[in-house]
């Protein structure tokens, strides 16, 4: 938190990760399709926290994420 003594304390968060996903589809007649994507992702979050008790806060936030997939695999 940037200012923990305030009634609504603002905060900022950064994230970095590696994401992979895989999707598969099959048809009744026997056709199959499968694809996969992999790549790095970064995110920025901003928000505010209201302290309801010494151990519990609640508040709004917004998040922005961007990523780039470096590999694409497709099987048919």
Return the structure tokens found at 15. Answer: 């994230």
Q: Are 50 and 27 in contact (CB under 8 A)?
A: no
Look at residues 51, 69, 66 and name the one whose alpha carbon lies nearest to residue 11.
51
pLDDT tens figures, 22-67: 888 777 777 777 888 889 999 999 999 998 887 888 999 999 999 9
pTM above 0.75, yes or no: no
**pLDDT tier for residue 71 given thresholds of 50, 70 and 90:** confident
């Amino acid at each position: 938190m940037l200012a923990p003594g305030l009634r609504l304390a603002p905060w900022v968060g950064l994230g970095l990760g590696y994401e992979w996903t895989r999707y598969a589809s099959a048809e009744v007649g026997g056709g199959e399709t499968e694809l996969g994507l992999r790549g790095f992702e970064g995110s920025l979050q901003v928000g505010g926290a209201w302290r309801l008790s010494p151990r519990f806060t609640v508040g709004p936030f917004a998040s922005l994420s961007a990523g780039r997939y470096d590999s694409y695999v497709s099987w048919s």
